[in-house]
Amino acid sequence: MRPGEGSTLIRPLEEGDYQAVRAIHVEAQREYRGEDWNSLSSAQQEYTLYDSSEKALNFFRGSGYSFVAERAGEVVGFVLAYRTIVAPLIWIRFVTVLPHHRRQGIASALYREVVKTAQSKGIDEIFATINPDNVPSIGLHEKAGFLVRDIKGAWFYLSDVGGSTPLRRQPQGTP
């Protein structure tokens, strides 16, 4: 048995899990941002952690597609997902597993539960955004059967245009 390995219970997110989910989310953000995390203001940290705020967790819980993984009575990972309003699509917002429990199939088990629930409700499509540098995340999605495509972002900064919002950028050279 690998370190941290043991029987894992996958169950729906409950209100009593909120504190544990927030603590794991904080750890995941610290891990992802490294030193930068401490230089963020508390308002910026709070913004980054919005998905594990009480309001957001109430929403994810209500949607019925969010699950936690429990080992020996402790939450060790979670997936936050919801059904979108505009289309019959499940959107996975975030998945994470505590470092000591990784590589033991926990995220895969959480994903299986999302898939099973979607299937039971006749929903055919599940979407997740992944960072192209995140090797474990790409591996998880490929192994779970996702078709991993490149996504290019288009960013617009109001500060670049002096605070005004052009509806359409003029091609260069046009008056």
Ligand X SMILES: CC(C)(COP(=O)(O)OP(=O)(O)OC[C@H]1O[C@@H](n2cnc3c(N)ncnc32)[C@H](O)[C@@H]1OP(=O)(O)O)[C@@H](O)C(=O)NCCC(=O)NCCS
Write out the residues near ligand X by the rule CB under 6 A: 28, 94-97, 102-108, 134-137, 139-140, 143
CA distance 153 to 158: 16
Residue 46 sits at φ, ψ, to 5 deg, of: -60, -40
- Nearer CB in complex with ligand X: 66/96: 96
CA distances from 85 to 88, 115, 121 (A): 7, 18, 14
Q: Least distance from C-beta 106 to ligand X, angstroms?
A: 4
Which residue's Cβ has the minimum distance to ligand X? Answer: 139
- Nearer CB in complex with ligand X: 52/137: 137
- Nearer CB in complex with ligand X: 7/164: 7
- Nearer CB in complex with ligand X: 19/134: 134
- Nearer CB in complex with ligand X: 48/108: 108
CA distance 5 to 10: 14
Q: Least distance from C-beta 164 to ligand X, angstroms?
A: 34
Q: Least distance from C-beta 43 to ligand X, angstroms?
A: 23
Q: DSSP 3-state assignment of 97?
A: strand
**Helix (DSSP H) and strand (DSSP E) numbers for the chain:** 6, 5
CA dihedral 67, 86, 127, 30 (to 10 degrees): -60
Q: Least distance from C-beta 168 to ligand X, angstroms?
A: 33
Q: Least distance from C-beta 48 to ligand X, angstroms?
A: 13
